[in-house]
Each structure stands twice: as structure tokens, then as C-alpha cells.
A and B are shown apart, each in its own frame.
Chain A
Amino acid sequence: MSSNDSIKIVWVYPDLLSTYGDQGNCIVLERRAALRGIRTRTVHVRSDETVPVDGDIYLLGGGEDRPQILAARRLHGDGGLHRARDFGAVIFAVCAGYQLLGTEFGGEEGQPVQGLGLLDIRSSRGQQRAVGEIVGDVDQALNVPRITGFENHQGVTHLGPGVKPLARVVHGIGNGDGHEGAYQGHVIGTYMHGPALVRNPGLADLLLRWAVKHDLPPIAESWSERLREERLRVVLG
């Protein structure tokens, strides 16, 4: 570990994509970095501002249908997120943010809307809303423990050949085909909404590891580990 590590976290469009505790992901990354002596700087980029291209980790939250469409349109016009990805930045998106990273998603009337194409996925509106706890076993290549979260969406997501599923669903709905979320390079999307990293410190550490490009020392067990164990116990019995 080097105490010279410093990362820039960019929270993309909190004015459009922040419905329910999405800020938690910023807080968790800042905290887990700080506990290892990594300095962080977080910028909140509103949708009338330019997306900086020099960020290390970009976070996208959830949103209602219309803000989701607006966010996709403005991010397309801006181009900053695409360039940041090309420079190797990490992108972590939840729920509506996840869908809009794909090539296409469903609008408020179910009409197809063009996404950013940063993930090879295509989403549409499903028959029923998926609301409840979700648990999944993460793709082995990522070396992250089982994930636990809360999903609240009406999307069905089809994965293209360019992505791998983030996890296999153990409990809940996820993408609708037995998988949950997707990843492609250092871009991750998930239907676990809001503060998805709170109960999944392993996933938070994966993002930090990718950002600083080396392994990180473990940190002392925290309340979020106890919360995680409780939720898994309650959901899986």
C-alpha cells in the first residue's frame, strides 16, 4: 500500500439519478479508502455541468423513468463518461443507472430509448415490478463474496456477448434470467439499488482495488459486516 494513493470519485448527476440513498455508495468508498490511508476527493456533477474525464471511480444512481431518459441524453451529448472509460476509469451503476449504461432501455411508456452503450446489455420493461431482497453469488473471476441488496425495478435485462453477469441469483429477480447485474472491463451495473456497497464491502473494495491498481489490506470488521450477515441470514433462512 502506498500512502501516496489518491483517487477522485465522481458522482454523476445526483440531481437526476439519486432516488433512495444512492449517496451511500460515495460515503462507503470514501470511508473504506480513508481507513487505508487513501485520500479521496469526491465531486458531485449536476446534469447542467460537464462530466470530468479525470475521475477514477464514477457512480451512477437510480432514477424515475423521465430523469433516466434525460440523464442518458445528456451523458450522450457530454461524452465525458465514455472518455473516462477509455482512460480506464471504474464505473459503478445501480438500477436506472445500470440500464442506461446499456445499448437500450425502456422509457415511461415502454418505448425503447437509446442508452450509452458502455455495457453490452439491452433492457426493457417487464410485466411485474421486482421489489425485495436480492442475493447473488458473484462471478468467480471477480473474487468477491456473495452480494446482498434490495431491488426495486420493473426492468428485464438481456446480456449481450460483450458482458459477463455480475452474479447468479440465489434470491430475488435481478436481470430476469437467473442472473443479476453485468460487468464489462471495469464497468459494473447492478439492480441492487441505492446504497448497494453498504452491505457489500467486498464489492466496494473491488472498485477501490481497480482504481488504485493494487491489492488492499483488509480492514477491521465493521457494523456493515454484521448487517450483511444479518440480512443474509434473514433472507436465506
Chain B
Amino acid sequence: MFQANPEEQESMSDLPLRAQMAVALGRTAAKMSRLAGRGDGSVIGGRIGLKLDPELLTRLARDRNLVLVSATNGKTTTTRLITAAMTPLGQVATNAFGANMPTGHVSALAAAPDAKYGVLECDEKYVPMVLRETGANVVALMNLSRDQMDRAAEIWLLAGKWRKALEAAPDSHVIANCDDPLVTWGAATAKSVTWVAAGQHWREDSWSCPECGGPLDREGTNWACRECSFARPKPDWILHGGRVTAPGGRTYELSSLQLPGRANRSNAVIALAVVARFGVEPDVALPLLGQVKSVAGRYTTVEHEGRRIRLLLSKNPAGWLEAFDVLQPAPGPVALAINAQGPDGRDTSWLWDVDYRILRGRPVWATGERRLDLAARLEAAEVEFTLVEDIEQAVMAVPPGHLDVIANYTAFQDIRTRYGRVV
């Protein structure tokens, strides 16, 4: 007999019996999955819950203040930053482990029945559906770039679906990065938008106007279509280097951030804009953002045999650009690991969109299941490297000291498991 514990029954008593049952069964399944060592259980738990009650997500979302966070890159990290900065408001439900589809959302909300606030990382494709089902109060949209083309939608089509979904959700407020033209276009149909100049370093997917296809002209941070009226909106929040200017003109230093690099400064300014919407001012939010040191293993440093190994996750060309930004200065050693399993995308073509020449002059190790794809790419970029069968060989080959490891999704998980799952 499955039964939710008494406190939970109390707090969920406004849910219909079927939904309560769905939550309880899902939670039991999640627990069994955890006991069996099969991950954190949030996907299986949510799947069972949704099977029993297809409207479970809508029911669980009711009467809460919800934020959806979506982007090609940085959604897990930004979700974590927003959650950290919302703690002064009370308990916050969140899918902290990157289970970013409705099954994960159900688990996250069911696990925190009393939380009045929720921050949900959302896969780009699922934004329309999850927005429809949850009626989220705030939708944060950060960047769109080429990613796993063998299974993901083409990004212009994706942005078009965001437009339709936001048009149909006039009560939802959008916080969007106006430095990314495609995100701007995707957000432009929303009834109310806070525009954040959060930066854009990967520009290969925004040469042409999403509205009419004409060429986009850029001057400094500004961009405008040469052929139609589509142009960068005036930002409400502006990130410049390590500082943020808030609406009203006050400027804040981001120096307390522990997460490295310009990509995380972008994530942080989005987080500041989101929590300000709920009344948490930057003065309060910034020290909380500074408490986040690593996110689901990303940026973690592990000690092994005298080596300090820092783990960086990069899943696509824009992500690699940001990983290169936080490397130890040359000639610091770097190990690269590439797989091409389902979650990575089975197509390694994107390696040719990454400019690896920046690694010239460093000791470089190449590994992962698709290390030969990487080898061919590094050879063409005239980067000297050593091919190794697994990460351990690279770790033991560098002298004691720092080693940066950049890996794509499943390669990253393999390495994280090997050196202990430090979250």
C-alpha cells in the first residue's frame, strides 16, 4: 500500500484524490530508483505521476509563483542562481539536477508541496507546453544557438514556437537577453518584457534577421536589420564587464560571484533581473549568488593524486567558446573528452564550428568515445595533442597541479562519476 506521509497529505489536501495518489506513487518510484542507484529518480517519478494524472503539472503549479528558465546554454546554472537568490522569499521548489522536461517539473513541484515559489529549468522545446500547463509568472530566455542538430529542432523554428506560446500567455512576464537577436525575436510577442543586455559571444547563428531574413548590422553592442524595422530593444538591465547597471541607473559589482567567466556573469544578470521582479533587490541577491560555487558538478574542482582537476561542461560551439574563456592561462594543460551518445547528439559535425587554435602551445590530451573525431579536428587546427584511451591516462600524465577538463554531456558524467559525484 502506497501512502503519502501525514504532513504531505495535509499540505496537498487541496489536490484531488487522484492527483494525491499520482504524487505519492511517483515519489515512491523515485525513491526506489534512488535506492537502486539509478540517478536522482526525478524522471521516473514524474513519469509515473503524469501517467496517473495527465493534468498533474497544472495542478501542482496552481497558486505558486513560478519561473521558467530556458536557453541553449546556461539554463541549469541560471536556475540554480535564481533559486539561491530567491531564498529570502521562503521555500523554493526547483529541478536542480537538470531534469528539465515535464516529468522533472512534476517531481520538483511534488517534492516541495509547501513551496510558494518555484524555479524550473525548461528544455527549449518544452517551453510552450510547460508555459501552457503551469501559467508561469516569469519566463527567462537567455540564448539560442546551434545544438545537437540530430535531435533538436532548428532554432529559428524553436523561436517561432516561443513567439506563439508567449502571445497566448499575456499574464506571463518575460525576461530576455536582448543581445541575442533570435531570443529577442522569440520574446517579442510577449505582453510585457524586461530586456537584459546580458551579452552574446557566439554570433554565428545571428547574421540574418529572424523577422525578414535581411542582413543584421552590428555596431558595438547594438544590432539592427538593414531591411526591416527589427532592432535591438533598449535594455533595462545592462551587463558591462564585471558590472551591472540596474533599471534606474544604479551600478553593482559582480566581483562576489564564485562561478567563473563571462557566461556566468550573463547568467547572474539574468538572475538579478528575475528576482528583482519578485522584490529581491540586487543588494540582497548578490551575496546569495556568491554562495553558488558549482552547479551539478560544473566548475567543480576534484583532487586526485595531487592533481586539481576542474570539470567544465561544454555541449556545443557556443559553450566551448565560454569554456575557453575560463581556462587557466596558457600553458596550463587541458584534457578534452568527446562522446556522441543520445544526450550528446550522435553527430560530431559541430566540432568543426569550434575554433581550437586557441589551445595551440598548451599540453592537450584528447579522449572520449569519439576521440578520433576530436583528433582529426585538432590536427586540422594544428594543435599538438596526445590521444589517450581514458581520462585517467591524461590525469596521470600531467605533473601534479591544475588540469582543466572540458567534456560534453555523457563524457562529463563519466568523468564526474569516476572522481566522485561532488555536487
Q: Which segment, of B183-191, B192-200, B241-249, B369-377, faces chain A?
A: B369-377
Cα A19 to Cα B317 in complex, Å, equals 11
Asked if A46 meets B215 with Cβ closer than 8 Å, knowing A20-B146, A198-B376, the reply is yes
Q: 9 smallest A-B Cβ distances: which pairs? A: A24-B352, A194-B349, A15-B207, A21-B352, A21-B349, A223-B375, A227-B372, A195-B352, A223-B376
Cα A81 to Cα B208 in complex, Å, equals 21
Q: Residue A83 at the B interface, CB < 8 A?
A: no
List B123-181 residues whose CB lies under 8 Å from chain A.
Answer: 146, 149-151, 154, 156-157
Q: Residue A210 at the B interface, CB < 8 A?
A: no
Q: Residue A152 at the B interface, CB < 8 A?
A: yes
Q: Residue B228 at the A interface, CB < 8 A?
A: no
B380 and A21 contacting across the interface, CB-CB below 8 Å: no
Q: What are 10 A-B pairs at a CB distance below 8 A?
A: A15-B215, A20-B350, A23-B353, A31-B380, A48-B215, A66-B213, A150-B348, A193-B349, A195-B349, A223-B375
**Nearest A residue (CB) for B217:** A48
| Most chain B CB within a 10 A radius of its CB, from A70, A195, A224 | A195
A27 and B352 contacting across the interface, CB-CB below 8 Å: yes
B149 and A227 contacting across the interface, CB-CB below 8 Å: no
Q: Residue B392 at the A interface, CB < 8 A?
A: no
B372 and A70 contacting across the interface, CB-CB below 8 Å: no
Asked if A132 meets B346 with Cβ closer than 8 Å, knowing A20-B149, A28-B380, the reply is yes
**Nearest B residue (CB) for A230:** B372
Cα A28 to Cα B215 in complex, Å, equals 28
Nearest Cβ on chain B to A47's Cβ, whole angstroms: 7
Asked if A150 meets B207 with Cβ closer than 8 Å, knowing A27-B352, A198-B376, the reply is no
Residues from chain A with a CB closer than 8 A to the CB of B204 are 14, 18
B150, B154, B157, B353: the one within 8 Å of A21 (CB): B353
B149 and A224 contacting across the interface, CB-CB below 8 Å: no
Cα A67 to Cα B346 in complex, Å, equals 24
B379 and A131 contacting across the interface, CB-CB below 8 Å: no
A15 and B150 contacting across the interface, CB-CB below 8 Å: no
Residues from chain A with a CB closer than 8 A to the CB of B352 are 21-24, 27, 194-195, 198
Residues from chain B with a CB closer than 8 A to the CB of A28 are 380
Residues from chain A with a CB closer than 8 A to the CB of B156 are 64, 66-67
Q: Residue A222 at the B interface, CB < 8 A?
A: yes
Q: Residue A226 at the B interface, CB < 8 A?
A: yes
A150 and B215 contacting across the interface, CB-CB below 8 Å: no
B349 and A20 contacting across the interface, CB-CB below 8 Å: yes
Total interface residues in chain A, CB < 8 Å: 35
Residues from chain B with a CB closer than 8 A to the CB of A199 are 376
Nearest Cβ on chain A to B94's Cβ, whole angstroms: 32
Asked if A46 meets B350 with Cβ closer than 8 Å, knowing A28-B380, A227-B372, A227-B375, the reply is no
Q: Residue B226 at the A interface, CB < 8 A?
A: yes
Q: Residue A16 at the B interface, CB < 8 A?
A: yes
B150 and A131 contacting across the interface, CB-CB below 8 Å: yes
A46, A48, A131, A150: the one within 8 Å of B349 (CB): A150
Cα A178 to Cα B327 in complex, Å, equals 47
Nearest Cβ on chain B to A157's Cβ, whole angstroms: 20
Cα A194 to Cα B146 in complex, Å, equals 12
A20, A24, A48, A198: the one within 8 Å of B347 (CB): A20
Mask: chain B, 18-53; 1 = CB below 8 Å from A; 0 = not? 000000000000000000000000000000000000
Cα A62 to Cα B74 in complex, Å, equals 26
Cα A174 to Cα B213 in complex, Å, equals 29
Residues from chain A with a CB closer than 8 A to the CB of B280 are none
List B260-301 residues whose CB lies under 8 Å from chain A.
Answer: none
Asked if A223 meets B349 with Cβ closer than 8 Å, knowing A66-B213, A152-B149, A230-B372, the reply is no
Asked if A24 meets B349 with Cβ closer than 8 Å, knowing A15-B207, A227-B375, the reply is yes
**Nearest A residue (CB) for B147:** A20
A16 and B375 contacting across the interface, CB-CB below 8 Å: no
Residues from chain A with a CB closer than 8 A to the CB of B351 are 21
Asked if A194 meets B215 with Cβ closer than 8 Å, knowing A21-B353, A23-B352, A227-B373, the reply is no
List B196-233 residues whose CB lies under 8 Å from chain A.
Answer: 204, 207-208, 213, 215, 226
Mask: chain B, 343-360; 1 = CB below 8 Å from A; 0 = not? 000111111110000000
Cα A198 to Cα B380 in complex, Å, equals 9
A23, A67, A194, A230: the one within 8 Å of B208 (CB): A67
